[in-house]
Amino acid sequence: MKLKHLLYISLGMAISLFTACTDNEFAESGTHYIEEGIPVSVDLKYGVEESRQATRSAQDATVEQTVNRLFAIAFYADGSISGYGAYDAVNNAEGQGTINDFPMHSGANQQIFIVANPGTGMGTLTMDQLVAFAVGNGTLDDFKQLYSAFNDTDNIGTNVERMSFLMFGQMVNQSGTSAMNVETDGTISNYSKAVELERVDARITFKIKVQSDASHQDMTFIPRYYQVNNIPAGTYLYPQENDYVDAGYQNMKDETVSITKNFDGTETDNMYFEFYLLENRLQPTQTLSMSMIESGGQYWDNSSSTPTVQNLYALREKRQAINEGQNFDKPGQEYELGDYIYAPKNGAYVIFSGTLTYRNENNDMVYANTSYTVHLGSTGNSIDNGSTWYNEEDLVNNYDTERNTHYTYTVTLTGVNSIQVEVENDREKRPGVEGDVVVAQGEVEDLDAHYGRVLFTLTRGEILAGLSWAIRTPFQQGIKVFNRENYLVDGNIPADESSLADREALKTGISLNDYKWVQFVINAEANRNRNWNEGISAGVVPDDEFAKYPGHEAYDGGTEQTAAPAFGGNGYHYEGSGWSNNGYYSEDVVMYDVNQLLNHLYMEANKSDSEIFHLNGRQSPSDDASVAITAFIDEYVYIYDPTQVFYRPPMSEDVPENDLVSLWKKVVNGENRLLHICKEGAEYSPDGNSSWANSVMTFSQRPIYTFYNPNASGITTAWGTESKNETGKLEVGAPSLSSQHSNTMDNGRENTLNIIPSGWSDELKWSAVLNRDGDAFGKLKSGYNNIWYACLGRNRDLNGDDIVQEDEIRWYLASIDQLTDLWIGEEAVPNAKLYDESLYVSGNRIERSHVASSSYYNGAASNPWVIWAEEGASRGDKNASQGSNGSGSKYDYRCVRNLGIGLENIDESPEDYATVSTSSWNGRYQEQIIEVSDLSSEARRAYTSGYLPANSERSYNNRPYQKFAVIINNLYPTSGATTRWNVYYENEEEYTPCPAGYRIPNQRELMLLYTRIPSLFNSDTDYMTKTEFSFKDYAPYTTEADQHGERIGFSYAGGNLYLISSKAKNNYGQLVDNIPVVRVRCVRDVAGN
């Protein structure tokens, strides 16, 4: 490619340089003299090194080598400017080209530089600034101090991503000499190669592998997220030496923020993530040496004549032990972790987290929620050093991340022995590995974020041996260790619990308080009334059935200021209102938390005549006899801070607004919260960051996932989603819903409340809808087995009266606009996608899957709006989609929940994450701006001032930037639609319909436009999206090509986003061209906060 479009030339500078020519000065160039200052035109060749295949976060080779703009500058030997040129609209995707007729002046020993893509990427260094530098007669020394910092310092999550790349290169000859001799005829006598443009970024790839052995069988790792800390916030244009910093550093995780990024690949044989980082070259805080792990060194154990660490490399993550000798709440903890001892204070490092599972040598299942810390640097093995690199001092002391370098870190997980060793003795095999390890000799229940139930048993023998319990939540972690001494009175265990009720050792304090989210009913202690209609016999709840939730008053969790009692409260049951409504239970039922449960069970297990232990269906004193327990798991929503308040009931009316707003932000999209019932011996590592427990029962609850940005200070309300569908796909059904509430496109809760009958004598009973057989959690009874009642199973009869009330419906069926927003924010909720490719894509074939909403299409509950999830965002009515749905008449659905909104506010919808404002750009065009800074950074992309690269609906480039503008006073081309979709898609740079600085929107940007500014669209125009269809080469689309040709990409017309068919049959049954001619709503990214 040749450049002939010179955008800026300084006339003032040209005159001053031409005047200098009359001085007739000469510059020496080694063997001859060159007359200096003669105006010449020079051809400058440039090239960009290729990269490799794209991922969701990293760009493909075309994008990494694309040059949108160029700035070239030359300096005389004395450091003054010899010439410069600024070139816009280059748009070279080939990675090589020529700047023709570059204006400069003759002279020896000149230095020539090229800058690519100033202002088009993440940095603040713009073309205007470079031109101003040249016009202001800057010097070479000044040029070497030019700096580019992040445009958006608040968007830490996107500051490791790129849409285009700032590059820098200097002309050198084959021998590496940068002093160039420019002759008076415009030739460069000692120049023979192109200027190599280097990206100022490094590309970082992490590959995660697992390695099984005899002690770690069937090992799997399920990745959750990664974080990058000490992200350099800027870089010099000209490469500098070590230990420089101007713009500071950013962290994804610190005391004030926690931003997580998703893995790019999660399959077992393809686990990886990639990101970009500006160069960061720092010296270690302390230097590692081999003498440290040799005899007499500080990491040498004389008793075993071995080092206390595996190798020097492991010490890179070692941190100071601080606060030793304090009293910690975690058994086994001796100190806390401080700063890194050897790694530099601002050395970049990665934390990645996931769940490691395997079977140990005893065939027990081991579950480890682990996190790994890896400092970056030019470490690692090569052909020269082989496998000994981890003890080579030059390598283990290197923490550099250099520009234009692709680093690949391969991490092989071989088990959790390092965690176990860290817990069980003081020898650290691998600092930087942390986690909670559970050896499951019982059940591990994986629970979603909504209310749930679990039926399980414990044997008398397990209880008599002593059971401890442990928690790990966003607020607290700790273990309550069993101690038989706590139950003794005069050396014996009393028969009556009341004599121990005030014993403080059996209670818990505020420092270990976040365990009340699971409550328990012992089936044998819950007596039911007979209910002929439901087929329920009088008597205790059978061991193979779920107990019904008795109402929150059955649990005594203390008050806001006082701790919960040691053995539970007085219990409660709803008594009913007459002979026809006697209530579900015949007497009070006590509901326990885990501390109360284990205290109570231990006392009962010591009674030979206890009635709660059964063997073969009969009461038994045997150690093999078991007690059946129904666990009720609360939704993963906090209405009080457990570090400040002991307890607040779930139907509290006076929840402080600050708690409603602040607490959801602390827990969404976070870690699973865990409660373990475990055997004696559970304890923590000396640093308190890892735990080891032999569990007989574990409750692991996933968080609510939301695409809202919890770190946005201005957002107070939101909504979130569950992550899995326990019932599977269901019929839509044709229920006769009430009309006491409106049916809307955007408020799913208001829509769902219509399942409650409106008649004064009518009521909907929980026991009529939900199945309570032990193997039927989440299943619905006949007559209610459809999407409309499915979300009722995610809720709970909180007051225990068996009647569904509005304030008990917290989880509801999503509306059509909410399903659409789930697509826009999909990358922020990878565990809750509407279309799970791992389920529906196999080889070169996909299964279509449609998702039903709670919004009526034509006023009927039997025909709601649905999303065509395989296409991402396309939508229509159920009746029209059923023939194309992979499961026919059965549809997927999604239950969601409001956050930060009181339950009494039925008509209130959460705040919109997208806001619209009016603006003008330099007064040239009338614009409206859509801002989505309240959308998670995972669902946004980095800034670009150029055209979008080619993208499909599921690619990184099909995300919005945090703020973009649309021209509202013109539709382009202004003369009308004459060009087909595929022409613009394939050749936007050549056939661009938009004014300079604007471009064609991608699919998600257009969705935001037609949902937020619908007045910009009319029904008789096809509107272009620069997004193709990712599954166009998959069956059934390929096998249906004889009906409609290729399904190439997306357009919007007549109020519907649709998938274009390249062909269509005419009235004679012949396939004819069908690609639409389109017009464009032109957009641009808006830089700055």
pLDDT digits (tens, 9 = 90+) for 445-494: 999 999 999 999 999 999 999 999 989 899 998 889 899 999 999 889 99
Average pLDDT over residues 989-1009: 93
Judge whether 252 and 260 are in contact, CB under 8 Å.
yes
Q: Is it the case that residue 515 has pLDDT exceeding 50?
A: yes
Q: How far is Cα 759 from Cα 919, in angstroms, rounded to an integer?
A: 51
Summarised one tens digit per residue, pLDDT across range 327-368 is 877 777 888 889 999 999 999 999 999 888 888 888 888 888
Rounded CA separation 400/915 (Å): 41
Quote the mean pLDDT of the chain.
Answer: 87
Cis peptide before 1036 (omega within 30 of 0): yes
Select the highest-mean-pLDDT range: 425-439, 669-683, 936-950. Answer: 936-950
Q: Is the pLDDT of residue 54 over 60?
A: no
Is residue 65's pLDDT more than 80?
yes
What average pLDDT does this structure show over 927-948?
92
DSSP-assigned beta bridge partners for residue 408: 205
pTM: 0.86
Tokens of 181: 């001799």
Backbone dihedral region for residue 1013 (phi beyond 0: left; psi -120 to 50: alpha; all else: beta): beta
Question: How remote is the C-alpha of 429 from its chain's centroid?
Answer: 30
Kindly report whether the peptide bond that precedes residue 973 is cis, defined as omega within 30 degrees of 0: yes
* Cβ atoms 879, 861 nearer than 8 A: no
Calpha distance 937→157 (Å, rounded): 5
For the chain, list the domains and their CATH numbers: 2-199 (2.60.40.2580), 206-430 (no CATH), 446-678 (no CATH), 718-899 (no CATH), 915-1085 (no CATH)
Determine how β-strand 201-210 pairs with β-strand 406-413: parallel
How many angstroms separate the CA atoms of 481 and 475, rounded? 20
Average pLDDT over residues 724-737: 89
Q: Which one, of 184, 678, 85, 725, lies nearest residue 439 by Cα?
A: 678
* Complete DSSP assignment for 988-1024: HHHH--SPTT-B---HHHHHHHHHH-GGG--TT--EE
Evaluate whether 125 touches 59 at the Cβ level (below 8 Å). no
| Contact (CB, 8 A) for 178 and 263 | no
Pick the range with the lowest mean pLDDT from 11-15, 162-166, 375-379. Answer: 11-15
Pairwise CA distance, residues 131 & 143, whole Å: 12
Above 50 in pLDDT, residue 1045?
yes
Token output for 785 = 């087995």
> How many Å apart are CA 512 and CA 69, to the nearest integer?
59
Residue count of the chain = 1089
* Amino acid residing at 826: E
Q: Are 697 and 682 in contact (CB under 8 A)?
A: no
pLDDT at 619 over 70: yes
Phi, psi (5° rounding) for residue 135?
-65, -35
The radius of gyration computed from the CA coordinates of the chain, to the nearest angstrom, equals 34
pLDDT over 70 (residue 549): yes
Inter-residue contact 821 to 799 (CB < 8 Å): no
Q: Which pairing describes strands 895-899 and 890-891: parallel, antiparallel, or unpaired?
A: unpaired
Closest CA to 234 of 347, 138, 146: 146
CA atoms within 13 A on the CB side of 210: 23
Question: How many Å apart are CA 789 and CA 478, to the nearest integer?
Answer: 38
More confident residue, 395 or 244: 395
Residue 927, strand partner residues: 919, 967
Structure tokens given for 429: 């095999």
Chain centre distance of CA 406: 24
Quote the DSSP letter at residue 823: H
Whether the predicted pLDDT of 9 surpasses 90: no
Sign of CA dihedral 654, 658, 661, 663: negative
Reported as a single tens digit per residue, the pLDDT across 247-286 is 688 888 877 778 888 888 887 788 899 999 998 888 999 9
The first and second tokens of residue 806, run together, are 């509005």
- Inter-residue contact 146 to 237 (CB < 8 Å): yes
Q: Which two tokens stand for residue 342?
A: 């050897």
Report residue 53 as tokens: 């295949």
Phi, psi of 412 (to 5 degrees): -105, 120
